[in-house]
Amino acid sequence: METTNRGAVVVGLLLIASGAVFLLVNLLPGLDLGRMWPGIFFAIAVALLVPPWILPAHRHALAGFVIPGVILLVLGLILTYQVITDDWDSWAYAWALIPASVGAGLWIAARLGYWGPGASTVGLWLLGGSLVGFVVFAAFLGRDSPLGRGAPAALIVLGVLITGTALIRRPTEQ
């Protein structure tokens, strides 16, 4: 496959997937798009995440698709949670998972694209920092939310892990 055709292939696959979803909705009138719309994020995420794994010869060139794919996957998960639980107030802290998804995508893409340890390290730091921010915001803002009620316990566990690791780890000689 030529380099110039890859974009057309991705767009074509997205159109096929979108058409299949709408065809199913038309054929099965019991499907409620009002509750299924986050699935669009999953479909696009799959279209972006699958090519790097099924085309190993082009993995290096396609690794950049992983970052937007992971972002859309996490957005789909957040929105699915909100649609199912009707906990739309959770957006006050759930947004912190978006930078976490960028970090996760960068870490995975760096591994697939052989981008070097710098990109991988930045991805892990962004992922970790954003997850900590998510838990802190959830503990502070999410008192009435199922996610928010578990956040204080998550902060305690995280603090114990970090403190324990710091106390157990021996300092390295310089």
pLDDT, tens only, 11-31 = 787 788 778 877 877 787 766
With 60 as the cut, is the pLDDT of residue 2 above it? no
Residue 171 has pLDDT above 80, yes or no: no
User: What is the pTM (predicted TM-score) of this model?
Assistant: 0.73
Question: Measured between alpha carbons, how far is 84 from 18 in angstroms, rounded to an integer?
Answer: 22
Average pLDDT over residues 51-77: 86
| 100 in Cβ contact with 77 (< 8 Å) | no
Phi-psi category of residue 114: left, alpha or beta, with phi > 0 → left and psi -120 to 50 → alpha: left
Question: Under DSSP, is residue 114 helix (H, G, I), strand (E, B) or coil?
Answer: coil
The residue type of 6 is R
The first and second tokens of residue 98, run together, are 């978006």
Helices (H), 29-116: 33-36, 39-54, 59-62, 66-85, 91-94, 97-113
